[in-house]
Amino acid sequence: MKVKVFKLQDLALDWAVTTLEKPEACKYGVEDWRDQRKHTVVNGEYVYRWHQSWAQGGPIIEQERIELWGDGDEGWIAYDNLNPKQKGPTPLIAAMRCYVAGQLGDEVEIPEGFKEEAE
The string of pLDDT tens digits covering residues 33-55 is: 999 999 999 989 999 999 999 99
Domain that holds residue 104: 2-118
> Which DSSP letter does residue 68 get?
E
Instruction: Count CB atoms within 10 A of the CB of residue 80.
Output: 16
Among 26-30, 59-63, 80-84, the range of highest mean pLDDT: 59-63
The pTM of this model reads: 0.91
Question: What average pLDDT does the chain have?
Answer: 91
Q: Is the pLDDT of residue 118 over 70?
A: no
**CB–CB of 10/117 below 8 Å?**
yes
pLDDT at position 115, please?
A: 66
pLDDT band of residue 81 (cuts 50, 70, 90) is confident
Instruction: Give the type of residue at 76.
Output: W
